[in-house]
Amino acid sequence: MNKIMGILMLLVFACIATNILSGGSFVIPFNLQNLMVRTSLFGIIGIGVAFVIITGGIDLSIGSMIGLIGCLMTITLIDKEWGIMATLLIVLGVSLLLGFVHGLLITKAHLQPFVVTLCGLLIYRGAARWITGDSTGGFGKDYNDSLRLLATGKPFSTATVLIVLGITVTLFCMYKIIRNNQQKQGKPLNWVIGGVISICVAISGASRFSNISADQVIQLSTATTVNIMSKRDTAKLDITKMDEENPGKRPSQFMPEILLNYVGYLAIPFAVSLAFVFLKRDTHAALISIVLLISGAALTLWASSYVSTLFGEKKDIGFLAITEVIVTLGIFIAGVDRFLKGVYRSLPEYRGLLSITCTLSVCWLVSQTPICRTLIPTPMVFLAAISTAAAIFLNKTIYGRYLLALGNNESAARLSGINTDRMIILAYVICAFCTAVGGILFALDGNSIQPAGHGNFYELYAIAAAVLGGCSLRGGEGSIAGVVIGAAVMRVLYNSITLLKIPTSLEFAIIGVVIMIGVLADEFVKKLNNTKRQQAEAERVNLVDQ
Protein backbone atom coordinates (compact mmCIF):
# COMPACT_ATOMS: atom_id res chain seq x y z
CA MET A 1 0.00 0.00 0.00
CA ASN A 2 2.81 2.42 0.95
CA LYS A 3 4.69 1.71 -2.28
CA ILE A 4 1.64 2.28 -4.45
CA MET A 5 0.87 5.51 -2.57
CA GLY A 6 4.46 6.68 -3.06
CA ILE A 7 4.58 6.02 -6.80
CA LEU A 8 1.10 7.53 -7.21
CA MET A 9 2.28 10.70 -5.47
CA LEU A 10 5.31 10.78 -7.78
CA LEU A 11 3.00 10.50 -10.81
CA VAL A 12 0.76 13.34 -9.56
CA PHE A 13 3.85 15.44 -8.83
CA ALA A 14 5.29 14.84 -12.31
CA CYS A 15 1.99 15.64 -14.05
CA ILE A 16 1.35 18.87 -12.11
CA ALA A 17 4.95 20.07 -12.42
CA THR A 18 5.04 19.35 -16.16
CA ASN A 19 1.74 21.12 -16.74
CA ILE A 20 2.87 24.20 -14.82
CA LEU A 21 6.31 24.39 -16.42
CA SER A 22 4.92 23.78 -19.93
CA GLY A 23 2.34 26.55 -19.63
CA GLY A 24 -0.60 24.14 -19.91
CA SER A 25 0.67 22.24 -22.96
CA PHE A 26 0.64 18.98 -21.00
CA VAL A 27 -3.16 18.81 -20.74
CA ILE A 28 -4.12 19.53 -24.34
CA PRO A 29 -6.23 16.65 -25.75
CA PHE A 30 -3.68 15.57 -28.37
CA ASN A 31 -0.91 15.22 -25.80
CA LEU A 32 -3.16 13.36 -23.36
CA GLN A 33 -4.26 10.89 -26.04
CA ASN A 34 -0.68 10.22 -27.10
CA LEU A 35 0.35 9.80 -23.47
CA MET A 36 -2.46 7.30 -22.85
CA VAL A 37 -1.42 5.24 -25.89
CA ARG A 38 2.24 5.03 -24.91
CA THR A 39 1.44 4.36 -21.26
CA SER A 40 -0.86 1.52 -22.30
CA LEU A 41 1.73 -0.09 -24.56
CA PHE A 42 4.55 0.03 -22.03
CA GLY A 43 2.16 -0.89 -19.23
CA ILE A 44 1.24 -4.13 -21.02
CA ILE A 45 4.83 -5.31 -21.41
CA GLY A 46 5.58 -4.07 -17.88
CA ILE A 47 2.87 -6.36 -16.49
CA GLY A 48 4.41 -9.28 -18.35
CA VAL A 49 7.92 -8.75 -17.00
CA ALA A 50 6.47 -8.17 -13.51
CA PHE A 51 5.42 -11.85 -13.33
CA VAL A 52 8.98 -12.91 -14.15
CA ILE A 53 10.49 -10.50 -11.62
CA ILE A 54 8.09 -11.73 -8.92
CA THR A 55 9.57 -15.23 -9.33
CA GLY A 56 13.06 -13.79 -8.90
CA GLY A 57 13.89 -13.92 -12.62
CA ILE A 58 14.49 -11.37 -15.36
CA ASP A 59 13.71 -11.08 -19.08
CA LEU A 60 16.07 -9.02 -21.24
CA SER A 61 14.68 -10.28 -24.54
CA ILE A 62 11.43 -8.28 -24.55
CA GLY A 63 12.64 -5.49 -26.85
CA SER A 64 14.14 -7.88 -29.39
CA MET A 65 11.03 -10.06 -29.27
CA ILE A 66 8.93 -6.97 -30.04
CA GLY A 67 11.19 -6.29 -33.02
CA LEU A 68 10.85 -9.91 -34.20
CA ILE A 69 7.06 -9.76 -33.81
CA GLY A 70 6.86 -6.61 -35.92
CA CYS A 71 8.99 -8.14 -38.65
CA LEU A 72 6.96 -11.39 -38.65
CA MET A 73 3.76 -9.39 -39.00
CA THR A 74 4.99 -7.49 -42.06
CA ILE A 75 6.22 -10.70 -43.71
CA THR A 76 3.11 -12.82 -43.10
CA LEU A 77 0.61 -10.03 -43.70
CA ILE A 78 2.20 -8.04 -46.51
CA ASP A 79 4.69 -10.35 -48.24
CA LYS A 80 2.94 -13.72 -47.80
CA GLU A 81 -0.63 -12.29 -47.68
CA TRP A 82 -1.78 -14.91 -45.17
CA GLY A 83 -4.51 -12.72 -43.73
CA ILE A 84 -5.11 -10.94 -40.45
CA MET A 85 -6.24 -13.90 -38.33
CA ALA A 86 -3.42 -16.17 -39.49
CA THR A 87 -0.88 -13.41 -38.84
CA LEU A 88 -2.09 -12.80 -35.29
CA LEU A 89 -2.19 -16.54 -34.51
CA ILE A 90 1.35 -17.06 -35.85
CA VAL A 91 2.73 -14.13 -33.88
CA LEU A 92 1.03 -15.25 -30.66
CA GLY A 93 2.09 -18.87 -31.21
CA VAL A 94 5.74 -17.95 -31.83
CA SER A 95 5.84 -15.68 -28.77
CA LEU A 96 4.29 -18.28 -26.46
CA LEU A 97 6.71 -20.90 -27.80
CA LEU A 98 9.69 -18.65 -27.10
CA GLY A 99 8.44 -17.97 -23.57
CA PHE A 100 8.00 -21.72 -23.02
CA VAL A 101 11.56 -22.35 -24.25
CA HIS A 102 12.89 -19.70 -21.86
CA GLY A 103 11.16 -21.44 -18.98
CA LEU A 104 12.45 -24.88 -20.01
CA LEU A 105 16.06 -23.68 -20.32
CA ILE A 106 15.89 -22.07 -16.88
CA THR A 107 14.18 -24.97 -15.09
CA LYS A 108 15.43 -28.09 -16.90
CA ALA A 109 18.84 -26.95 -18.15
CA HIS A 110 19.39 -24.95 -14.93
CA LEU A 111 20.64 -21.87 -16.79
CA GLN A 112 20.49 -18.42 -15.25
CA PRO A 113 17.52 -16.27 -16.44
CA PHE A 114 19.94 -13.43 -17.20
CA VAL A 115 21.96 -15.63 -19.57
CA VAL A 116 18.95 -17.21 -21.27
CA THR A 117 17.17 -13.95 -21.98
CA LEU A 118 20.40 -12.14 -22.92
CA CYS A 119 20.96 -14.81 -25.57
CA GLY A 120 17.34 -14.33 -26.62
CA LEU A 121 17.94 -10.58 -26.97
CA LEU A 122 20.78 -11.23 -29.43
CA ILE A 123 19.14 -14.15 -31.27
CA TYR A 124 15.76 -12.51 -31.86
CA ARG A 125 17.28 -9.25 -33.06
CA GLY A 126 19.56 -11.11 -35.44
CA ALA A 127 16.67 -13.28 -36.68
CA ALA A 128 14.52 -10.18 -37.29
CA ARG A 129 17.25 -8.56 -39.38
CA TRP A 130 17.90 -11.79 -41.30
CA ILE A 131 14.32 -12.65 -42.27
CA THR A 132 13.69 -9.09 -43.50
CA GLY A 133 17.03 -8.61 -45.20
CA ASP A 134 17.56 -5.69 -42.78
CA SER A 135 15.01 -3.64 -44.72
CA THR A 136 12.30 -1.46 -43.19
CA GLY A 137 8.74 -2.77 -43.41
CA GLY A 138 5.26 -1.50 -42.72
CA PHE A 139 1.55 -2.01 -43.37
CA GLY A 140 0.90 0.99 -45.61
CA LYS A 141 -2.61 2.39 -45.75
CA ASP A 142 -4.40 -0.85 -46.58
CA TYR A 143 -5.10 -1.74 -42.94
CA ASN A 144 -5.81 1.73 -41.51
CA ASP A 145 -9.52 0.95 -41.24
CA SER A 146 -9.19 -2.63 -40.03
CA LEU A 147 -6.21 -4.17 -38.25
CA ARG A 148 -4.47 -0.92 -37.28
CA LEU A 149 -7.58 0.16 -35.37
CA LEU A 150 -6.36 -2.17 -32.60
CA ALA A 151 -3.65 0.42 -31.91
CA THR A 152 -5.00 3.64 -33.39
CA GLY A 153 -8.76 3.27 -32.86
CA LYS A 154 -10.79 5.23 -30.31
CA PRO A 155 -13.83 3.07 -29.50
CA PHE A 156 -15.53 5.38 -27.01
CA SER A 157 -15.16 8.69 -25.23
CA THR A 158 -14.16 9.32 -21.64
CA ALA A 159 -17.76 10.43 -21.07
CA THR A 160 -18.88 6.88 -21.85
CA VAL A 161 -16.39 5.55 -19.30
CA LEU A 162 -17.82 7.93 -16.68
CA ILE A 163 -21.35 6.71 -17.42
CA VAL A 164 -20.46 3.01 -17.26
CA LEU A 165 -18.28 3.46 -14.19
CA GLY A 166 -20.89 5.56 -12.40
CA ILE A 167 -23.71 3.09 -13.06
CA THR A 168 -21.58 0.07 -12.11
CA VAL A 169 -20.44 1.56 -8.81
CA THR A 170 -23.98 2.76 -8.05
CA LEU A 171 -25.35 -0.76 -8.48
CA PHE A 172 -22.56 -2.14 -6.28
CA CYS A 173 -23.32 0.43 -3.56
CA MET A 174 -27.01 -0.48 -3.71
CA TYR A 175 -26.09 -4.15 -3.34
CA LYS A 176 -23.93 -3.39 -0.28
CA ILE A 177 -26.70 -1.27 1.28
CA ILE A 178 -29.26 -4.06 0.85
CA ARG A 179 -26.83 -6.69 2.15
CA ASN A 180 -25.91 -4.59 5.20
CA ASN A 181 -29.59 -4.10 6.01
CA GLN A 182 -30.31 -7.81 5.71
CA GLN A 183 -27.36 -8.78 7.90
CA LYS A 184 -27.82 -5.79 10.23
CA GLN A 185 -24.13 -4.89 10.07
CA GLY A 186 -24.59 -1.23 11.04
CA LYS A 187 -25.28 2.05 9.27
CA PRO A 188 -24.46 1.88 5.55
CA LEU A 189 -23.77 5.64 5.37
CA ASN A 190 -20.53 5.27 3.40
CA TRP A 191 -22.27 3.19 0.75
CA VAL A 192 -25.13 5.72 0.52
CA ILE A 193 -22.67 8.58 -0.02
CA GLY A 194 -20.71 6.45 -2.49
CA GLY A 195 -23.90 5.73 -4.43
CA VAL A 196 -24.77 9.42 -4.60
CA ILE A 197 -21.28 10.29 -5.85
CA SER A 198 -21.46 7.52 -8.45
CA ILE A 199 -24.78 8.84 -9.72
CA CYS A 200 -23.23 12.32 -10.02
CA VAL A 201 -20.30 10.88 -11.99
CA ALA A 202 -22.70 9.06 -14.36
CA ILE A 203 -24.70 12.26 -14.85
CA SER A 204 -21.46 14.15 -15.57
CA GLY A 205 -20.63 11.69 -18.33
CA ALA A 206 -24.15 11.74 -19.76
CA SER A 207 -24.06 15.54 -19.96
CA ARG A 208 -21.57 15.19 -22.83
CA PHE A 209 -24.40 13.99 -25.06
CA SER A 210 -26.89 16.72 -24.11
CA ASN A 211 -27.85 19.62 -26.37
CA ILE A 212 -27.07 22.47 -23.99
CA SER A 213 -26.31 25.87 -25.53
CA ALA A 214 -22.95 27.65 -25.50
CA ASP A 215 -24.28 30.48 -23.32
CA GLN A 216 -25.47 28.01 -20.68
CA VAL A 217 -22.12 26.20 -20.73
CA ILE A 218 -20.23 29.46 -20.20
CA GLN A 219 -22.61 30.48 -17.41
CA LEU A 220 -22.20 27.15 -15.60
CA SER A 221 -18.42 27.32 -15.87
CA THR A 222 -18.15 30.73 -14.20
CA ALA A 223 -18.48 29.24 -10.70
CA THR A 224 -15.81 26.60 -11.34
CA THR A 225 -12.05 26.50 -11.69
CA VAL A 226 -12.44 25.11 -15.23
CA ASN A 227 -11.30 27.61 -17.86
CA ILE A 228 -13.05 26.57 -21.07
CA MET A 229 -11.90 29.69 -22.95
CA SER A 230 -8.19 29.01 -22.67
CA LYS A 231 -6.14 30.51 -25.49
CA ARG A 232 -3.83 27.51 -25.48
CA ASP A 233 -6.49 25.13 -26.76
CA THR A 234 -7.91 26.19 -30.11
CA ALA A 235 -10.83 23.79 -29.69
CA LYS A 236 -12.06 26.00 -26.86
CA LEU A 237 -12.06 29.24 -28.82
CA ASP A 238 -15.00 28.29 -31.03
CA ILE A 239 -17.41 27.41 -28.23
CA THR A 240 -19.84 30.18 -29.19
CA LYS A 241 -19.74 29.04 -32.82
CA MET A 242 -20.20 25.33 -32.24
CA ASP A 243 -22.97 23.53 -34.04
CA GLU A 244 -25.45 22.49 -31.35
CA GLU A 245 -27.07 20.01 -33.74
CA ASN A 246 -23.79 18.20 -34.44
CA PRO A 247 -23.08 15.67 -31.64
CA GLY A 248 -19.33 15.86 -32.30
CA LYS A 249 -19.15 19.65 -32.05
CA ARG A 250 -21.67 20.52 -29.37
CA PRO A 251 -20.69 22.90 -26.55
CA SER A 252 -21.78 20.09 -24.21
CA GLN A 253 -18.36 18.47 -24.69
CA PHE A 254 -17.23 20.78 -21.86
CA MET A 255 -20.02 19.72 -19.48
CA PRO A 256 -18.31 16.64 -17.93
CA GLU A 257 -15.40 18.84 -16.81
CA ILE A 258 -17.74 21.45 -15.36
CA LEU A 259 -20.02 19.03 -13.51
CA LEU A 260 -17.10 16.98 -12.16
CA ASN A 261 -15.69 20.23 -10.82
CA TYR A 262 -18.89 20.83 -8.87
CA VAL A 263 -18.77 17.25 -7.57
CA GLY A 264 -15.14 17.77 -6.55
CA TYR A 265 -16.08 20.76 -4.40
CA LEU A 266 -17.78 18.32 -2.01
CA ALA A 267 -14.31 17.08 -1.03
CA ILE A 268 -13.74 20.31 0.93
CA PRO A 269 -16.28 19.73 3.75
CA PHE A 270 -15.30 16.05 3.99
CA ALA A 271 -11.59 16.95 4.20
CA VAL A 272 -12.28 19.62 6.85
CA SER A 273 -14.27 17.08 8.89
CA LEU A 274 -11.45 14.55 8.68
CA ALA A 275 -8.89 17.20 9.63
CA PHE A 276 -10.96 18.22 12.68
CA VAL A 277 -11.26 14.62 13.92
CA PHE A 278 -7.58 13.98 13.13
CA LEU A 279 -6.60 17.02 15.22
CA LYS A 280 -8.55 15.70 18.18
CA ARG A 281 -7.06 12.20 17.88
CA ASP A 282 -3.40 13.04 17.10
CA THR A 283 -2.78 16.78 17.37
CA HIS A 284 0.97 16.75 16.64
CA ALA A 285 0.82 14.62 13.48
CA ALA A 286 -2.30 16.44 12.24
CA LEU A 287 -0.74 19.88 12.69
CA ILE A 288 2.36 18.92 10.71
CA SER A 289 0.38 17.48 7.81
CA ILE A 290 -2.16 20.33 7.72
CA VAL A 291 0.56 23.02 7.81
CA LEU A 292 2.40 21.26 4.99
CA LEU A 293 -0.84 20.97 3.02
CA ILE A 294 -1.92 24.60 3.37
CA SER A 295 1.53 26.12 2.91
CA GLY A 296 2.32 23.81 0.00
CA ALA A 297 -0.99 24.59 -1.73
CA ALA A 298 -0.52 28.35 -1.29
CA LEU A 299 3.07 28.28 -2.50
CA THR A 300 2.14 26.04 -5.46
CA LEU A 301 -0.60 28.47 -6.54
CA TRP A 302 1.88 31.32 -6.31
CA ALA A 303 4.56 29.44 -8.28
CA SER A 304 1.99 28.42 -10.90
CA SER A 305 0.84 32.02 -11.32
CA TYR A 306 4.44 33.20 -11.58
CA VAL A 307 5.34 30.66 -14.26
CA SER A 308 2.13 31.46 -16.18
CA THR A 309 3.13 35.12 -16.16
CA LEU A 310 6.54 34.25 -17.59
CA PHE A 311 4.88 32.23 -20.35
CA GLY A 312 2.45 35.04 -21.09
CA GLU A 313 5.32 37.52 -21.42
CA LYS A 314 7.30 34.97 -23.47
CA LYS A 315 10.22 35.05 -21.03
CA ASP A 316 12.62 32.26 -20.18
CA ILE A 317 11.42 30.27 -17.19
CA GLY A 318 14.87 29.97 -15.69
CA PHE A 319 16.36 27.50 -13.26
CA LEU A 320 15.15 29.48 -10.22
CA ALA A 321 11.49 29.26 -11.29
CA ILE A 322 11.81 25.54 -11.97
CA THR A 323 13.34 25.03 -8.51
CA GLU A 324 10.52 27.02 -6.90
CA VAL A 325 7.88 24.89 -8.59
CA ILE A 326 9.57 21.62 -7.63
CA VAL A 327 10.09 22.67 -4.00
CA THR A 328 6.56 24.01 -3.52
CA LEU A 329 4.99 20.97 -5.15
CA GLY A 330 7.19 18.74 -3.01
CA ILE A 331 5.90 20.43 0.15
CA PHE A 332 2.30 20.06 -1.00
CA ILE A 333 2.69 16.40 -2.00
CA ALA A 334 4.45 15.66 1.31
CA GLY A 335 1.51 17.23 3.15
CA VAL A 336 -1.02 15.17 1.20
CA ASP A 337 0.98 12.00 1.83
CA ARG A 338 1.29 12.62 5.58
CA PHE A 339 -2.39 13.56 5.88
CA LEU A 340 -3.62 10.45 4.06
CA LYS A 341 -1.33 8.09 5.95
CA GLY A 342 -2.09 9.78 9.27
CA VAL A 343 -5.86 9.54 8.84
CA TYR A 344 -5.59 5.96 7.57
CA ARG A 345 -3.59 4.85 10.63
CA SER A 346 -5.07 7.03 13.38
CA LEU A 347 -8.72 6.87 12.33
CA PRO A 348 -9.47 3.33 11.11
CA GLU A 349 -13.19 3.88 11.66
CA TYR A 350 -13.09 6.80 9.21
CA ARG A 351 -11.36 4.99 6.33
CA GLY A 352 -14.62 4.91 4.37
CA LEU A 353 -14.92 8.68 4.69
CA LEU A 354 -11.27 9.00 3.63
CA SER A 355 -11.96 6.95 0.50
CA ILE A 356 -14.94 9.15 -0.34
CA THR A 357 -12.84 12.30 0.13
CA CYS A 358 -10.10 10.94 -2.13
CA THR A 359 -12.68 10.01 -4.78
CA LEU A 360 -14.15 13.49 -4.74
CA SER A 361 -10.67 15.03 -4.91
CA VAL A 362 -9.88 12.89 -7.96
CA CYS A 363 -13.12 14.12 -9.59
CA TRP A 364 -11.98 17.70 -9.05
CA LEU A 365 -8.47 16.96 -10.32
CA VAL A 366 -9.80 15.28 -13.47
CA SER A 367 -12.06 18.28 -14.10
CA GLN A 368 -8.98 20.51 -14.40
CA THR A 369 -7.93 18.87 -17.65
CA PRO A 370 -9.69 18.40 -20.99
CA ILE A 371 -9.42 14.63 -20.51
CA CYS A 372 -13.23 14.44 -20.41
CA ARG A 373 -13.28 15.47 -24.08
CA THR A 374 -10.61 13.08 -25.24
CA LEU A 375 -11.34 9.70 -26.73
CA ILE A 376 -10.05 6.61 -24.94
CA PRO A 377 -7.58 4.85 -27.30
CA THR A 378 -7.98 1.13 -27.91
CA PRO A 379 -4.61 0.23 -26.31
CA MET A 380 -5.96 1.52 -23.01
CA VAL A 381 -8.82 -1.00 -23.30
CA PHE A 382 -6.22 -3.76 -23.74
CA LEU A 383 -4.30 -2.44 -20.73
CA ALA A 384 -7.44 -2.34 -18.58
CA ALA A 385 -8.39 -5.91 -19.54
CA ILE A 386 -4.90 -7.37 -19.09
CA SER A 387 -4.18 -5.53 -15.83
CA THR A 388 -7.53 -6.61 -14.35
CA ALA A 389 -6.97 -10.23 -15.32
CA ALA A 390 -3.38 -10.11 -14.06
CA ALA A 391 -4.39 -8.57 -10.72
CA ILE A 392 -7.08 -11.20 -10.18
CA PHE A 393 -4.68 -14.00 -11.13
CA LEU A 394 -1.90 -12.72 -8.86
CA ASN A 395 -3.98 -11.79 -5.81
CA LYS A 396 -7.05 -14.05 -5.92
CA THR A 397 -5.85 -17.41 -7.23
CA ILE A 398 -3.72 -20.12 -5.70
CA TYR A 399 -1.27 -19.92 -8.63
CA GLY A 400 -0.63 -16.25 -7.92
CA ARG A 401 0.22 -17.13 -4.31
CA TYR A 402 2.51 -19.87 -5.61
CA LEU A 403 4.40 -17.31 -7.72
CA LEU A 404 4.84 -14.98 -4.74
CA ALA A 405 5.95 -17.86 -2.52
CA LEU A 406 8.38 -18.99 -5.20
CA GLY A 407 9.95 -15.54 -5.36
CA ASN A 408 10.29 -15.31 -1.58
CA ASN A 409 12.02 -18.66 -1.15
CA GLU A 410 12.23 -21.18 -3.97
CA SER A 411 13.54 -24.02 -1.78
CA ALA A 412 10.82 -23.57 0.80
CA ALA A 413 8.18 -23.38 -1.93
CA ARG A 414 9.46 -26.63 -3.45
CA LEU A 415 9.50 -28.39 -0.09
CA SER A 416 5.93 -27.25 0.59
CA GLY A 417 4.73 -29.15 -2.47
CA ILE A 418 4.67 -26.39 -5.11
CA ASN A 419 5.81 -27.45 -8.57
CA THR A 420 8.31 -24.59 -8.89
CA ASP A 421 9.45 -25.56 -12.40
CA ARG A 422 5.89 -25.35 -13.68
CA MET A 423 5.39 -21.95 -12.01
CA ILE A 424 8.59 -20.53 -13.52
CA ILE A 425 7.58 -21.73 -16.98
CA LEU A 426 4.13 -20.22 -16.47
CA ALA A 427 5.67 -16.85 -15.52
CA TYR A 428 7.76 -16.73 -18.71
CA VAL A 429 4.81 -17.79 -20.85
CA ILE A 430 2.70 -14.98 -19.34
CA CYS A 431 5.54 -12.55 -20.02
CA ALA A 432 5.75 -13.77 -23.63
CA PHE A 433 1.98 -13.37 -24.08
CA CYS A 434 2.04 -9.77 -22.82
CA THR A 435 5.07 -9.10 -25.02
CA ALA A 436 3.17 -10.49 -28.01
CA VAL A 437 0.15 -8.24 -27.36
CA GLY A 438 2.42 -5.24 -26.79
CA GLY A 439 4.53 -6.09 -29.85
CA ILE A 440 1.45 -6.29 -32.09
CA LEU A 441 0.20 -2.92 -30.84
CA PHE A 442 3.64 -1.28 -31.11
CA ALA A 443 3.97 -2.44 -34.72
CA LEU A 444 0.47 -1.29 -35.68
CA ASP A 445 0.86 2.04 -33.91
CA GLY A 446 4.15 2.95 -35.57
CA ASN A 447 3.34 1.40 -38.99
CA SER A 448 7.07 1.30 -39.68
CA ILE A 449 9.32 -1.51 -38.48
CA GLN A 450 13.07 -1.07 -38.74
CA PRO A 451 14.57 -4.47 -37.81
CA ALA A 452 17.72 -3.04 -36.23
CA GLY A 453 15.95 -0.52 -34.01
CA HIS A 454 12.31 -1.46 -33.47
CA GLY A 455 11.82 -2.23 -29.77
CA ASN A 456 15.33 -1.27 -28.67
CA PHE A 457 15.59 -0.69 -24.89
CA TYR A 458 11.89 -1.47 -24.41
CA GLU A 459 12.81 -4.20 -21.94
CA LEU A 460 14.54 -1.59 -19.80
CA TYR A 461 11.44 0.63 -19.76
CA ALA A 462 9.31 -2.38 -18.82
CA ILE A 463 11.67 -3.46 -16.03
CA ALA A 464 11.91 0.13 -14.76
CA ALA A 465 8.10 0.41 -14.67
CA ALA A 466 7.88 -2.86 -12.72
CA VAL A 467 10.58 -1.83 -10.24
CA LEU A 468 9.10 1.65 -9.76
CA GLY A 469 5.72 -0.01 -9.26
CA GLY A 470 6.92 -2.04 -6.29
CA CYS A 471 8.33 -5.24 -7.78
CA SER A 472 11.45 -6.32 -5.91
CA LEU A 473 14.27 -7.64 -8.08
CA ARG A 474 14.86 -10.19 -5.31
CA GLY A 475 11.43 -11.63 -6.09
CA GLY A 476 8.38 -12.40 -4.02
CA GLU A 477 6.88 -8.93 -4.14
CA GLY A 478 4.86 -7.01 -6.71
CA SER A 479 1.66 -5.16 -7.53
CA ILE A 480 -0.08 -4.91 -10.89
CA ALA A 481 -1.55 -1.49 -10.05
CA GLY A 482 1.92 -0.30 -9.11
CA VAL A 483 3.34 -1.50 -12.44
CA VAL A 484 0.70 0.43 -14.41
CA ILE A 485 1.39 3.58 -12.38
CA GLY A 486 5.13 3.03 -12.85
CA ALA A 487 4.67 2.83 -16.62
CA ALA A 488 2.68 6.07 -16.49
CA VAL A 489 5.49 7.76 -14.54
CA MET A 490 8.04 6.69 -17.15
CA ARG A 491 5.98 8.07 -20.01
CA VAL A 492 5.19 11.33 -18.20
CA LEU A 493 8.92 11.85 -17.61
CA TYR A 494 9.63 11.22 -21.28
CA ASN A 495 6.80 13.57 -22.23
CA SER A 496 8.16 16.21 -19.85
CA ILE A 497 11.54 16.13 -21.57
CA THR A 498 9.83 16.84 -24.90
CA LEU A 499 7.45 19.56 -23.67
CA LEU A 500 10.06 21.40 -21.60
CA LYS A 501 12.49 21.31 -24.54
CA ILE A 502 15.18 19.57 -22.54
CA PRO A 503 17.97 18.28 -24.83
CA THR A 504 17.08 14.75 -25.90
CA SER A 505 20.71 13.75 -25.28
CA LEU A 506 19.88 13.96 -21.56
CA GLU A 507 16.77 11.76 -21.91
CA PHE A 508 18.24 8.53 -20.58
CA ALA A 509 20.31 10.35 -17.95
CA ILE A 510 17.25 12.08 -16.46
CA ILE A 511 15.13 8.93 -16.50
CA GLY A 512 17.99 6.94 -14.97
CA VAL A 513 18.42 9.46 -12.16
CA VAL A 514 14.69 9.44 -11.40
CA ILE A 515 14.61 5.64 -11.30
CA MET A 516 17.66 5.58 -9.04
CA ILE A 517 16.06 8.10 -6.67
CA GLY A 518 12.83 6.08 -6.64
CA VAL A 519 14.63 2.82 -5.84
CA LEU A 520 16.79 4.48 -3.16
CA ALA A 521 13.71 6.05 -1.57
CA ASP A 522 11.98 2.65 -1.61
CA GLU A 523 14.94 0.99 0.08
CA PHE A 524 15.16 3.80 2.65
CA VAL A 525 11.46 3.49 3.52
CA LYS A 526 11.77 -0.30 3.72
CA LYS A 527 14.72 -0.07 6.12
CA LEU A 528 12.94 2.58 8.18
CA ASN A 529 9.84 0.40 8.47
CA ASN A 530 11.95 -2.62 9.43
CA THR A 531 13.72 -0.56 12.11
CA LYS A 532 10.42 0.63 13.54
CA ARG A 533 9.06 -2.91 13.48
CA GLN A 534 12.14 -4.22 15.32
CA GLN A 535 11.91 -1.45 17.91
CA ALA A 536 8.22 -2.17 18.48
CA GLU A 537 8.98 -5.88 18.83
CA ALA A 538 11.80 -5.15 21.30
CA GLU A 539 9.51 -2.92 23.37
CA ARG A 540 6.85 -5.62 23.40
CA VAL A 541 9.38 -8.21 24.59
CA ASN A 542 10.58 -5.87 27.34
CA LEU A 543 7.02 -5.31 28.51
CA VAL A 544 6.41 -9.06 28.60
CA ASP A 545 9.63 -9.63 30.58
CA GLN A 546 8.65 -6.96 33.06
Residue 507 placed within a domain: no
Among 311, 345, 373, the domain-final residue is 373
**Could you count the other beta carbons within 10 Å of the beta carbon of residue 368?**
18
DSSP string, 264-302: HHTHHHHHHHHHHHHHHH-HHHHHHHHHHHHHHHHHHHH
**Could you count the other beta carbons within 10 Å of the beta carbon of residue 402?**
20
CA–CA distance, 88 with 93 (Å, rounded to integer): 8
| Residue 375 φ then ψ, to 5° | -95, 135
Q: Which residues touch 120 (CB under 8 Å, ≥6 apart)?
A: 60, 61, 64, 65, 98, 102
CATH code of the domain covering residue 422 = 1.10.3470
Asked if residue 355 and residue 259 are part of one domain, the reply reads yes
Asked if residue 283 and residue 161 are part of one domain, the reply reads yes
Please say whether the beta carbons of 490 and 42 come within 8 A: yes
Asked if residue 353 and residue 219 are part of one domain, the reply reads yes
Domains identified in the chain, total number: 2
Q: Mapping DSSP to helix (H, G, I), strand (E, B) and coil, where does residue 375 land?
A: strand
**Could you count the other beta carbons within 10 Å of the beta carbon of residue 541?**
10
8-31 b/e (C-beta count within 10 Å ≥ 16 → b): bbbbbbbbbbbbbbbebbbbbbeb
Asked if residue 259 and residue 212 are part of one domain, the reply reads yes
What pLDDT tens digit does each residue of the chain (546 aa) get? 567 777 888 888 888 888 888 877 888 888 889 999 999 999 999 999 999 999 989 999 999 999 999 999 999 988 888 888 999 999 999 999 999 999 999 999 999 999 999 999 999 999 999 998 888 888 878 788 888 888 988 888 888 889 999 999 999 989 888 888 877 665 678 888 889 999 999 999 999 888 888 888 888 888 888 877 544 444 444 566 666 666 667 788 888 989 999 999 999 999 999 999 999 888 888 899 999 889 988 888 888 888 777 776 667 776 777 788 888 888 888 888 888 888 888 888 888 888 889 999 989 988 888 888 888 899 999 999 999 999 999 999 999 999 999 988 888 888 888 899 999 999 999 999 999 999 999 999 988 888 988 888 899 889 988 988 888 888 888 889 999 999 999 899 888 888 887 777 777 787 777 777 767 776 776 677 778 778 878 777 777 766
Q: Which residues touch 274 (CB under 8 Å, ≥6 apart)?
A: 343, 347, 350, 353, 354, 357
Distances (CA, A) of 12 to 60, 201, 502: 30, 21, 20
Please say whether the beta carbons of 17 and 325 come within 8 A: yes
Asked if residue 187 and residue 94 are part of one domain, the reply reads no
Question: Residue 228's domain spans which residues?
Answer: 156-373
- Considering only CA atoms, give the Rg of the chain: 25
Among 357, 373, 389, the domain-final residue is 373
**Could you count the other beta carbons within 10 Å of the beta carbon of residue 325?**
22
Asked if residue 306 and residue 191 are part of one domain, the reply reads yes
Which among 127, 43, 26, 132 is positioned nearest to 442, based on CA atoms?
43
**Could you count the other beta carbons within 10 Å of the beta carbon of residue 291?**
13
Among 322, 342, 373, the domain-final residue is 373
Q: Which 3-state string (H, E, C) describes 420-474? A: HHHHHHHHHHHHHHHHHHHHHHHHHHHCCECCCCCCCCHHHHHHHHHHHCCCCCC
